[in-house]
Structure 1
Amino acid sequence: MPILSRLRPDPFTLMLVATVGVATVLPCRGRAVPVFNAVTHAAIALLFFLHGARLSRSAIFAGLTHWRLHFTVLASTFVLFPLLGLGLQGALSGWMAPGLLQGFLFLCLLPSTVQSSIAFTSMAGGNVVAAICAASLSNLLGVVVTPVLVGLLMHLQGGGIPGRAVGSIFMQLFVPFVAGHLLRPVLGAWVERQRKLLSLVDRGSILLVVYTAFSEAVVNGLWQQLGPRDVVLLGAMASALLAAILGLTTLASRALGFSREDEITIVFCGSKKSLASGVPMASVLFPASAVGAIVLPLMLFHQIQLMVCAVLARRYAERGART
């Protein structure tokens, strides 16, 4: 019985699995898409508003100036990931369609996610302010760094990346965060007492991101474009890549002497790849006929990283509660 109790998934993991199932059977499509996107954006904005109201000025300043952590996250995103991607691509050359192998390498060159990285960091009890800075910096630098890496490692030339991503990050993340912090004298004490509300918003935003992202993948023909063999190979590659990056970021953060809270931030911000940035970048950098195969590995990796990191965040939170 104790063994079975440890193996039993927690309720949030079951909710994630159920969300993926609902998105597969009843994906968000048509007129419902803008509605769900608006609800998801509102939930994320509320999350950042509440974090802004909760965090003190000294904590924000410490997060902004934590350069060792930011360099570690960037090194994982733009150095370690590409090296692992090149290794896996070479190992599986001839076993998979060239377009899918190119897509797998492309996902390794992308910036980190923003919303889910910060939500998982918060859920696990990590350094939220540093996560906001690190994930946002990764996305902003990715506008320049990713096309350069694509040109160097994939022998392609692309145009500029649309600047709307920068504006979206600013309006959806920084504006609510700053607004919440400015209202901290009024709301700070109330938010501190509402830890359950913050946890609900954290988890709710993750479930919404999973549903909308997986719905988009299903509507775009994820299961029609992937055969059983491709699914198995891509799933194995994505799982191996994620396991390697999670293990290496954990070991590196501990070897470099980071605190538990900083380790959580490095693990979650340094292990993610952004579907929101990757799809528009692919449409700019690659021919239209190649975009479908290029983004398929990214869509699959995106789902796996959300599921695995949700379980990992839960375990971090449970260990933190016991200490």
Structure 2
Amino acid sequence: MKRPRFLPDNFTLILIGLVVLASFLPVQGDAAHAAELLTNLAIALLFFLHGAKLSTRAVISGLGHWRLHGLVFACTFLLFPIVGLALRPVLEPVIGAELYKGMLYLCALPATVQSAIAFTSMARGNVPAAICSAATSSLVGIFVTPMLVLLMLGAAVQSMPLGEAIGKITVQLLVPFVAGQICRRWIGAWIDKNKAWLKYVDQCSIYLVIYTAFSRAVVDGLWSHLPFWQLIALIIACCVLLAIILAIISFVAKRLGFNIEDRITILFAGSKKSLATGVPMAQVMFSGAAMGTLLLPLMIFHQIQLMVCAVLAKRYGQRPED
């Protein structure tokens, strides 16, 4: 039986379940230290596999469509932060300072890979360009996202001095990624054959980060500081952010003269933010209970973008052939 479009997928349902579990049975004490060590190892494995999966040749060969990729990167790393900062006078008083920091953090993240490509394919867009843009965005985000976070949050990120942030990103994310790229010549074929079950490694890494992050937040009193109405306001804020981004991307891509296939690619690759990258990067860049609050906007935005883009992809896919 096919799941209705507007119901969360199993991955999202498990994330919600982990938040509930952390709310009632948070990991703490010595167990929390062990969980954090296990999480860091899982993140290193995650980025090693990302490096092994990504074909450098495919990325280089796809870079020829520079206008499309330039616009996607501008949407991902410029448009989102600009809109997020512009909405500050409206969002911060409504959702609170901590959740607003989480909104800025999601604005700094790279685009998704799998879902951006899947929706572009479903909508009959330019799939090769989507593969190149999404994969390159994920790689570029390793360097750009920490800089954007520091630029937008500044002194609010007490636990992340610039040198320490660059060092952690390099050791925990970039080094495993480069190692995966180097090892691809030997394990690439095996990785490609086993993608179906290796995706669970990605998901388990995210599950670990979510559970440990929200455990720390709950122990520090997250839910006593976050009223229900504020959570509803956050959902509305994520919907507004996505609506503004989609409208601007659609308008700009059309005005620049891209054909319908390229406009579809730009829309899906430029409007999505990666939970798979954002959660591990938060684990590296932030510490303490604040990380649970910072990740809430990303988790909510992730589900909203999936539901909205599924509807848009279906609509584009039903258009008549030229």
Same-fold call, TM > 0.5?
Answer: yes
Structure 2 CA distance for aligned equivalents of residues 317 and 259 of structure 1: 16
Deviation at 1:53, TM superposition (A): 1.5
Once the two structures are TM-superposed, the CA of residue 12 in structure 1 deviates from its matched residue by 2.3
Give the counterpart letter for 1:130 in structure 2.
S
Gaps in structure 2 of 5+ consecutive residues: 118-130, 318-322
**1:68–1:165 Cα change, 3 Å:** same
> Which residue of structure 1 lines up, in the alignment, with residue 189 of structure 2?
189
Sequence identity of aligned pairs in percent? 25
| Residue type of the alignment partner of 1:302 | L
8 A contact 1:82–1:108 mirrored in 2: no
Match of 1:75 among 74, 78, 84: 78
- Indicate the residue corresponding to 2:214 in structure 1: 214
- Match for 2:89: what amino acid? L
What secondary structure sits across from 1:183 in the alignment? Answer: helix
Q: What TM-score does the superposition give when structure 2 sets the normalisation length?
A: 0.70
Shift of 1:178: 0.9
Does the C-alpha gap of structure 1 residues 37 and 302 become closer, same or farther in structure 2, counting only changes over 3 Å?
A: same
How many Å apart are 1:310 and its aligned residue? 4.6
Q: Distance in 2 between matches of 1:205 and 1:25?
A: 21
Cα distance change of structure 1 residues 263 and 210 upon mapping to structure 2, 3 Å threshold:
farther
What are the residue-to-residue correspondences of 1:9-20 with 2, within 5 Å?
Answer: 9-20=8-19
For 1:121, give the aligned amino acid. V
Offset at 1:223? 2.0
Matched, 1:122 2:128: no
* Unmatched tracts of structure 1, length 5 or more: 93-99, 151-157, 284-291
Choose the corresponding residue for 1:269, options 261, 270, 273: 273
Q: Distance in 1 between matches of 2:268 and 2:188?
A: 24
Q: Quickly say closer, same or farther: Cα 1:69–1:16, change in 2 above 3 A.
A: same
- Contact map agreement 1:49 1:176 (CA 8 A) in 2: yes
Whether 1:48 aligns to 2:47 is yes
Aligned positions, number:
284
Q: Measured at CA, do residues 49 and 135 of structure 1 come closer, stay the same or move farther in structure 2, by a change above 3 Å?
A: closer
Q: Deviations over 1:250-289 (max 9, x none)?
A: 3344442556565444333389798658866xx9xxxxxx
CA contact under 8 A between 1:124 and 1:264: conserved in structure 2? yes
Amino acid paired to 1:237? A
What's 2:243 paired with?
247
Query: What is the identity, as a one-letter code, of the residue corresponding to 1:245?
Result: L
Residues 132-281 of structure 1: pairs in structure 2 closer than 5 A: 132-134=139-141, 136-147=143-154, 161-226=161-226, 231-255=227-251, 256=253, 263-269=267-273
Aligned equivalent of 2:33: 34
Do 2:210 and 2:292's aligned partners in 1 also have CA atoms closer than 8 Å? no
Contact map agreement 2:108 2:149 (CA 8 A) in 1: no
State the shift of 1:180 in Å: 0.9
Given candidates 69, 85, 89, the residue that maps to 1:86 is: 89
CA 1:41/1:262 → structure 2, altered by over 3 Å: closer, same or farther?
Answer: farther
AA partner of residue 192 (structure 1): D
The TM-score with structure 1 as length reference comes to 0.70
Q: 2:302 aligned with 1:309, yes or no?
A: yes
Kept after mapping to 1: 8 A contact 2:52/2:180: yes
Provide the alpha-carbon RMSD of the alignment. 4.0
Match of 1:287 in 2: none
Cα separation, 1, equivalents of 2:38 and 2:107:
22
Residue 121 (structure 2) aligns with: none
1:135–1:269: 8 Å Cα contact kept in structure 2? no
C-alpha deviation, 1:137, in angstroms: 0.3
Whether the 8 Å CA contact 2:165–2:285 is kept in 1: the answer is: no
How far did residue 7 of structure 1 move?
A: 5.6
CA distance in 2, matches of 1:160, 1:212: 19
- CA shift at 1:190, angstroms? 0.9
Letter of the 1:216 counterpart: R
Aligned counterpart, 1:59: 58
